[in-house]
Amino acid sequence: MTVASRPTPRLLTAGQLFLDLVFADLATAPRLGEEHWTPAFGWGPGGIANYAIAAARLGVDTVLCADAGTDALSGLVRERLADEGIADGIREVSDWALPVTAAMNYDGDRALVTGGRPAAPMASLLQNAPVTPVAALHIDDSVSEWVRERAAAGTKVFADIGWDADEDWDLAALDVLDGCHAFLPNEAEARAYTRADDARAAARALAERVPLAVVTRGGHGVIAVDAATGTEVEIGAVAIDFVDATGAGDVFGGALAAAELTTWTLRERVEFATLVAAITVSRPGGAAAAPRLDELLPWLDAHPAAADPARFAFLRAALHDGASPFAAPPRPTPSSHRTRI
């Protein structure tokens, strides 16, 4: 029996992996001694897996590099990732268990509690990672050299640093962005690092460090600045009935990294990622609720008040007759004729 070879990954994702347990649609935060029930519950791989799942569901061949344990929950997460068609670049660590995060959604946002210990720095994890056109990383100091080498080879690295738990917001922490193509902080992170008064000023300041600075603003939309062309894009949110914010920024990042593989304009790429994230937060479960490519137009048709129809005309054109904007370019075939000299 002939076994079909696996497609070559076009997107590499790497970072901290979790098991997420998501409790959505809570009226209030639980108080001591109380038990709250909600039917809006979901679970699945979290952390960097949010990027990978979002991209894979859009039809992009994706590999995920992360640490996992040999515990039962690690096995469960790996099975779910395999079900999503994501290539397994996971390194097993025998004396470490996968962290578990409980996300509780109420008052338009979510609170997180994580049990476990963080994974080791990623440098050794990425030594044998496949070369891809685009990569999305939860970046740390250990991968700076790797990022510069991949950037020199043509890989566009989308970086997420995450929340500063110490809240020092030292600008020196952004030195790890050297070589990265894009930085994707939320507004609170962007303003804290840059000491800017608003999201636009923060995005402009960050564009001095990376070619593409993208600041997400939750229900207020997104601001993106292309440093090379000076293009600035500000778009509003897609109108949805909010259910669950878990992983929304990561899903946005995964969709935006995937969109880098298209010929779309910056505005269209940001609009696309915003739509994918909006659909996700309208359903419980974090990235487990991320839409597939063939769901996007039916969702827009079923929610005519979500956005002006003209806003996503480019997407309708791109998806006509089942086409995919992420299709890999055809490989050149060897010529059957020999060139005479």
Query: Of 3.40.50.300, 3.40.50.1220, 3.50.50.60, 3.40.1190.20, which CATH number belongs to 11-27+39-320?
Result: 3.40.1190.20
Q: What is the pTM of this model?
A: 0.90
Angle value at C-alpha 239, between 233 and 245, nearest 5 degrees: 90
pLDDT in tens, 214-226: 999 988 999 999 9
Distance CA 20, CA 333 (A): 44
Segment 39-55 mean pLDDT: 92
pLDDT at res. 4: 42
pLDDT, position 234: 97
Domain chopping of the chain, boundaries: 11-27+39-320
Work out the angle at residue 249's Cα, subtended by the Cα atoms of residues 107 and 119, and round it to the nearest 5 degrees: 105
Supply the pLDDT for residue 330.
Answer: 59
Backbone phi and psi for residue 11, each to the nearest 5 degrees, phi listed first? -135, 125
With bands split at pLDDT 50, 70 and 90, how would you rate the model's confidence at 286?
Answer: confident
User: Residue 292 pLDDT more than 90?
Assistant: yes
Beta-carbon count within 10 A of 167 CB? 7
